[in-house]
Structure 1
Amino acid sequence: MNIPQDIIARLNELPIEAVADKLGIYVRRHKALCFKHDDHNPSITFSTSKNIYKCWVCGIGGGPIKLVQDKNACDFQTACVWLGQEFNISWSERKTYRNVIKRTSPKKLQLTKHKEETSMFDKEVFTWLIDNTTLLDSAKFFLFKERCLNEDIVQKQRIGSVVNSFNIVNALVNKFGEDTCLRTGLIRKSCNGRYFYFYTPCLLFPYYDQDGILIGVQSRYLGANKKVPRFQFASSQKTRLYNLPILNSLKRGDKLYISEGITDCLALLSDGLNAVAIPSATILPLEDLIFLKNYELHMYPDQDEAGEKAFIALQRFFINHYSIVKKEALPEGVKDYCDYHVKKQEING
């Protein structure tokens, strides 16, 4: 397999701690237990500035591709394929100009070159998915009964759900064709046939940039299988902030909350507060966070180690950019802002 150099570079630009998270490596304060030896004290250090990792005991280390090689005990090409699948980065095997010119006319060469263009994120396919999914019963129960979220807010965010993956796979293939669907990564194929990338039943949260262009979709699994990942993400690039379009309605100095996760963000919005969300405590979209420094920033950190870690990381980031984020305290016994929101709704009847 010939993996283009630009693809290799893109894979090695994936956030190293996000890759570790996909691999099931628990990272706390940029450190983790080494998976190559019996490790009781975290000996792996992650450098987010250099985007590398290193074990100070056994010496393994490198970038995102090398991390996959070491963790999955696989070769370079297999690691690249795995990263491509997990982060929805696709490519086709490209032949050199010399090899192609021997077998094709210039006209055919032009067609071949056009055919081999790749698309990381097919906005048309994912937009159709968002436009053609609605909130089914299990999704409504989770959002409106369990989480007590405002229905208008949920509708404005264009949140949908999928229960029957067989139906959605068939609908997508009928609309766009199997090759296109497979290329997007939204549909996968095995010896048992085609299957949907997101585990179902699930919610679908669309991510838009500040111009309202769809840049990603995140799922939230609603089933009972504990072995299934609760969140999955497909995007056109590095993970971004959720609800970026809200910045268009704000002016310098306005109050803005940063939440850990989408449901906390929706709870803040339901309470009439301006909010954006980082995808998780371990993923900070720095390229978007820089746009927040001119607002009055607040955060209700989750009441656990991960939440405290996320707040400290955000605090350091904004201090380095001559801004601050104020820590808001949750009541005792409340795990996160969404839990706080639910309890307030119960008290108010």
Structure 2
Amino acid sequence: MKYIPDDIVVKINGLPILNVAEKLGLSVNSKRTTLCFMHNDRSPSLHFNVRKNTFYCYGCSRGGNVISLVMNRLGLCFVDAAQWLIQAYGIDVPYGRKDYRKLKISVALPKAQKVKSEYVPDVELLSWIMDVAKLSDIAKDFLFHVRRYKEEVVEQKGIKSITDANKFYKVVVDRFGLDRCKKAGIVKWNFKEYRYETVFECPCLLFPFYDERGIIYTIQGRSLREYPTNRFSFPNHSDSFIFNLQDVLNADTETPIFIAEGGTDCLALLSEGKKAIAIPGAGAFKEEYIKYLKDKNLFMFADNDDSGKSLFARIDKALRVYGNYLHQMILNPKYKDYSEYYAEKR
């Protein structure tokens, strides 16, 4: 039986977790945080506690010690993760001990931020959520009175909402079962309260993302709380995508298409009668998106922050490889984003 002696486990878990994170290819900043590799992360939410030698993600609520970090990062079982650390750090384990057998494991050190399991959407489950969900009074007030988006635009883009997180959790788990909901990334484990819960911070809006075939790919939640822990959330393990991709696919090379940094800004642009798409943040942009954008007439009101500037620069740089570029539209500095500008002028 594969077995790691208790004293060796203690020794392994005593390895400096920041050093282990570095070996695993994680780029940890000065605040001891990094982008979480266990869910789609726009801003660093994976935190390392040097004093306790542990990690914890405030986005997906996953955490643990040194061995569990390796288990999650490399997809290994407990024993294999321990053996990986033994080999990586040259920890001496006497071969004469009867309670330990050397394991042959070959796991290459990952490059920074590259290890990620392939995302396969549960189309039936995601479609069911969007079909069953409706727009609550809270959502309507935010969309139509606070932000003043046009009702026909919200309806056309299929925006829905969740009000009660516990009720939503019960309904979706009763329908599909806990295991399937976990696999689909719709629920997560809450370490603090020791229970499963939905990944969406409710009350929230639901933005459906569809691929080029018109099949649902993922759902983004946008919290309507005044002070949310995570304003935006995707299912665990989910890739982000382009919101309202159909506007790009149906446009010719001359039609102006506006790129927004988020779904709500996209709704503002659409409410003005513009063709628009959304890419949810600089960290969500992928080079593969250029195949949809390279021959289009593109414009962008970048958010007045570093993330907005970064997203604009990344898209523009990728387009120039194909002889195209992104037209920069200047947003008055007093507005943080296009939605704020749109709401005031309405």
In the TM superposition, residue 36 of structure 1 has moved relative to its aligned partner by 10
Of residues 273-282 and 168-177 in structure 1, the stretch that sits farther from structure 2 once superposed is 168-177
1:177 maps to a residue whose letter is G
Is the CA contact (8 Å cut-off) linking 2:208 and 2:218 kept in structure 1?
yes
Is the CA contact (8 Å cut-off) linking 1:218 and 1:231 kept in structure 2?
yes
TM-score (norm 2): 0.66
Match for 1:218 among 220, 238, 245?
220
In the TM superposition, residue 245 of structure 1 has moved relative to its aligned partner by 1.4
The alpha-carbon distance between structure 1 residues 139 and 76, as it changes in their structure 2 partners (threshold 3 A), is: same
Is the CA contact (8 Å cut-off) linking 2:143 and 2:149 kept in structure 1?
yes
2:140 maps to a residue whose letter is K
**What is residue 255 of structure 1 aligned with on the other side?**
256
Is residue 2:337 matched to residue 1:336? yes
Question: Could you list the runs of 5+ residues in structure 1 that have no partner in the other structure?
Answer: 1-11, 27-33, 38-70, 83-117
The alpha-carbon distance between structure 1 residues 155 and 127, as it changes in their structure 2 partners (threshold 3 A), is: same
Is the CA contact (8 Å cut-off) linking 1:210 and 1:247 kept in structure 2?
no
**What is residue 301 of structure 1 aligned with on the other side?**
302
Cα distance in 1, alignment partners of residues 328 and 269 from structure 2: 15
The alpha-carbon distance between structure 1 residues 244 and 13, as it changes in their structure 2 partners (threshold 3 A), is: farther
**What is residue 90 of structure 1 aligned with on the other side?**
none
Cα distance in 2, alignment partners of residues 268 and 119 from structure 1: 30
**What is residue 205 of structure 2 aligned with on the other side?**
203
In the TM superposition, residue 237 of structure 1 has moved relative to its aligned partner by 5.6
Is residue 2:173 matched to residue 1:173? yes
Cα distance in 2, alignment partners of residues 206 and 15 from structure 1: 31
Higher helix share: 1
Is the CA contact (8 Å cut-off) linking 1:205 and 1:218 kept in structure 2?
yes
- Write the deviation string for residues 123-164 of structure 1: whole angstroms up to 9, x where unpaired: 101110111111101111111111111111111111111111
- Write the deviation string for residues 177-215 of structure 1: whole angstroms up to 9, x where unpaired: 333223322123567444212121111110001221000
State the secondary structure of the residue aligned to 1:79: helix
Cα distance in 2, alignment partners of residues 200 and 241 from structure 1: 23
Is residue 2:273 matched to residue 1:272? yes
In the TM superposition, residue 317 of structure 1 has moved relative to its aligned partner by 1.1
Cα distance in 1, alignment partners of residues 137 and 172 from structure 2: 22
TM-score (norm 1): 0.66
1:230 maps to a residue whose letter is R
**What is residue 243 of structure 2 aligned with on the other side?**
242
**What is residue 122 of structure 1 aligned with on the other side?**
122
In the TM superposition, residue 305 of structure 1 has moved relative to its aligned partner by 2.3
Percent identical residues? 29
Cα distance in 2, alignment partners of residues 284 and 269 from structure 1: 21
1:121 maps to a residue whose letter is P
Is residue 2:73 matched to residue 1:79? yes
Cα distance in 1, alignment partners of residues 125 and 331 from structure 2: 40
**What is residue 87 of structure 1 aligned with on the other side?**
none
- Write the deviation string for residues 311-330 of structure 1: whole angstroms up to 9, x where unpaired: 12221111122101110112
State the secondary structure of the residue aligned to 2:284: coil
The alpha-carbon distance between structure 1 residues 159 and 254, as it changes in their structure 2 partners (threshold 3 A), is: same
**What is residue 153 of structure 1 aligned with on the other side?**
153
Is the CA contact (8 Å cut-off) linking 1:121 and 1:236 kept in structure 2?
no
Is the CA contact (8 Å cut-off) linking 1:182 and 1:189 kept in structure 2?
no
* Matched positions, count: 260
In the TM superposition, residue 219 of structure 1 has moved relative to its aligned partner by 0.5
The alpha-carbon distance between structure 1 residues 185 and 304, as it changes in their structure 2 partners (threshold 3 A), is: closer
Q: CA RMSD in A?
A: 3.5
In the TM superposition, residue 14 of structure 1 has moved relative to its aligned partner by 12
Question: Could you list the runs of 5+ residues in structure 2 that have no partner in the other structure?
Answer: 1-23, 29-33, 51-63, 77-117
Is the CA contact (8 Å cut-off) linking 1:268 and 1:275 kept in structure 2?
yes
The alpha-carbon distance between structure 1 residues 281 and 176, as it changes in their structure 2 partners (threshold 3 A), is: same
The alpha-carbon distance between structure 1 residues 72 and 321, as it changes in their structure 2 partners (threshold 3 A), is: farther
Indicate the structure (1 or 2) with the bigger Cα radius of gyration.
Answer: 2
Of residues 121-130 and 248-257 in structure 1, the stretch that sits farther from structure 2 once superposed is 248-257
Cα distance in 1, alignment partners of residues 271 and 25 from structure 2: 36
- Write the deviation string for residues 264-307 of structure 1: whole angstroms up to 9, x where unpaired: 11100000000111111332132123311111111111122222
State the secondary structure of the residue aligned to 1:234: coil
State the secondary structure of the residue aligned to 2:207: strand
In the TM superposition, residue 13 of structure 1 has moved relative to its aligned partner by 12
